[in-house]
A and B are shown apart, each in its own frame.
Chain A
Amino acid sequence: MNIYSEITANKRKSWLIIGLFVLFITTLAFIYGKATGYGLSYAGIGLIFAGIISFGSYYYSDKMILSLSKAKQIKKEDNPLLFNTVENLCIGAGLPMPKIYIIDDSAPNAFATGRDPKHSVTCVTTGILEKLNRIELEGVIAHELSHIKNYDIRVMAIVVILVGLVALMADFFMRSLWFGGSRRDSNKGNAQGIFLLIGIVLAILSPIAASLIQLAVSRKREYLADASGVLLTRYPEGLASALEKIAGDKEPLEAANNATAHLYIANPFKGKIQGNWFANLFNTHPPIEERIRILRSM
């Protein structure tokens, strides 16, 4: 695999997953509609709710995570090395300068967020600044800037809206059954019964399936950011060796929590490295050894 084919493949896979996701939701809406006689109103109401909630978090994503993580903004004088690294890579990528923040934590990690390149933010921990050398720092920053350049925050926001939609639809459906609010069409008795059964099974399983899909997209975008970052630095070993150092550091990042974990360059909760395929499905990030292996093969 070379850099370009990695990039195309990951873009294609993430959009394929999202496409299948939309198809999945359409099917759910259809089945719920048939089961209760309410047709597409499930999908409609769910979309409005999910949309409003998720849009807010996407729009203010930069402010939210920064206040959650106690990050401090820096100017060029505060850390010329970091500033120049970001500035130079932005020149290479054709991006406007993001705001740069530092989190005071010895666990090495970094993230980027913001709804588009003009309103973007990138943040590193003091751990990264201490433990990585210049070339490795460049690899990490290039990865983060690639998230911004590829509009990954927007892609994940769309996915999150869809996941919320699935959960809400399942919820509405189950509630409507409980409160007996469905319209019974006496002509279609049996068919409606079957849809009802399928609908219940789906209402239970679909939220989990939706989360798995979200995690799959998140992983593909991580691979994509790795490959795009290499296209920027033209030096895969920089990021590979940075990831090795980050993986080797067992300390969990204190500032991270479940809501923000997926934004970081490496899973901030340093549990056991999951070798098992099934357990990996629940990870926001691909396994680090796999990322390092792909980088070193470019």
Chain B
Amino acid sequence: MEIYIILAVVAIALFVWYTYNSLVTSKVRIKEAFSGIDVQLKRRVDLVPNLVSTVKGYAKHEKELLENVTKARASLMKAQGTTQKAESDNMLSQALKSLIAVSENYPDLKASKNFLELQQELSDIEAKIAYARQFFNSNVAGYNTTLVNFPGSIVGKMFGFKKEDFFEAVESDRKNVKVEF
């Protein structure tokens, strides 16, 4: 009789061990995916000086816009903590969008090979940022699902695991985009 109880206890212990490990592994993956987003964001930030100097060459009058972009980049590099970083990154996004939009008024700039390449790189980086965020979200989804399902929910409570947050778009991103020519 005792042997069955011992076997049952061992089985439960193994179960808990396995579930705990998969939860912890998921958390590490989430952290890695989060840093992966940062890697792409950094690429965008690194692109800015090049972009600013190219535009300056053709559109000297857009001083304010160029300053906005430079200021946004500086604040992003000084930002601490997730909220500050997200806000500064948002500022940079908006400033970059305005810069690209305004370039429509400068045919020489639009035609410049340098600018075209930078524009393509920027749009490729935006795609990479989107994929990095998607990967982050799918890792969070996997972790949260384990936490909500049966053995995970009990083991989670035992060791104090909490649900993680998805990456969410800012309110302004959710509005419909108007494209005007």
With the chains together, A190 CA to B65 CA distance in Å? 96
Q: Which of A88, A94, A234 contacts B127 (CB 8 A)?
A: A88
Q: Tell whether, in the assembled complex, residue A92 and residue B124 are in contact, meaning their CB atoms are under 8 Å apart.
A: no
Chain B residue numbers with a CB within 8 Å of A87 are 128
With the chains together, A84 CA to B122 CA distance in Å? 12
Decide if A93 is an interface residue (CB 8 Å cutoff): yes
Decide if B106 is an interface residue (CB 8 Å cutoff): no
Q: Tell whether, in the assembled complex, residue B124 and residue A91 are in contact, meaning their CB atoms are under 8 Å apart.
A: no
Q: Tell whether, in the assembled complex, residue A89 and residue B134 are in contact, meaning their CB atoms are under 8 Å apart.
A: no
- Chain B, residues 42-83, CB within 8 Å of chain A (1/0): the string is 000000000000000000000000000000000000000000
Chain B residue numbers with a CB within 8 Å of A84 are 124, 127
Q: Which residue of B lies closest to A95 (CB)?
A: B135
Decide if B131 is an interface residue (CB 8 Å cutoff): yes
Chain A residue numbers with a CB within 8 Å of B33 are 94
Decide if B95 is an interface residue (CB 8 Å cutoff): no
Count of A interface residues, CB-CB < 8 Å: 10
Chain B residue numbers with a CB within 8 Å of A92 are 131-132, 134-135
**Number of A-B pairs, beta carbon distance below 8 Å:** 24
Q: Which of A88, A93, A94, A234 contacts B128 (CB 8 A)?
A: A88
With the chains together, A87 CA to B128 CA distance in Å? 8
Instruction: List residues of A (182-240) whose CB comes within 8 Å of B's CBs.
Output: 231, 234
Closest 3 CB pairs of A and B: A92-B131, A91-B131, A88-B131
With the chains together, A121 CA to B33 CA distance in Å? 24
Chain B residue numbers with a CB within 8 Å of A88 are 124, 127-128, 131
- Chain A, residues 68-83, CB within 8 Å of chain B (1/0): the string is 0000000000000000
Chain A residue numbers with a CB within 8 Å of B138 are 231
Chain A residue numbers with a CB within 8 Å of B134 are 92, 234
Q: Which residue of A lies closest to B29 (CB)?
A: A94
With the chains together, A92 CA to B139 CA distance in Å? 11
Chain B residue numbers with a CB within 8 Å of A94 are 33, 135, 139
Nearest CB on B from A206, distance (A): 38
Residue of A84, A87, A91, A92 ringed by the most chain B CB atoms within 10 A: A91
Instruction: List residues of B (134-172) whose CB comes within 8 Å of A's CBs.
Output: 134-135, 138-139
Nearest CB on A from B173, distance (A): 16
Chain A residue numbers with a CB within 8 Å of B124 are 84, 88
- Chain B, residues 116-136, CB within 8 Å of chain A (1/0): the string is 000000001001100110110
With the chains together, A89 CA to B132 CA distance in Å? 9
Q: Would you list 5 pairs from A and B whose C-beta atoms are within 8 A, ordered by A residue?
A: A87-B128, A91-B135, A92-B132, A92-B135, A94-B33
Nearest CB on B from A8, distance (A): 13
With the chains together, A94 CA to B30 CA distance in Å? 11
With the chains together, A93 CA to B134 CA distance in Å? 9
With the chains together, A231 CA to B135 CA distance in Å? 11
Instruction: List residues of A (27-49) whose CB comes within 8 Å of B's CBs.
Output: none
Nearest CB on B from A232, distance (A): 8
Chain A residue numbers with a CB within 8 Å of B131 are 88-89, 91-92
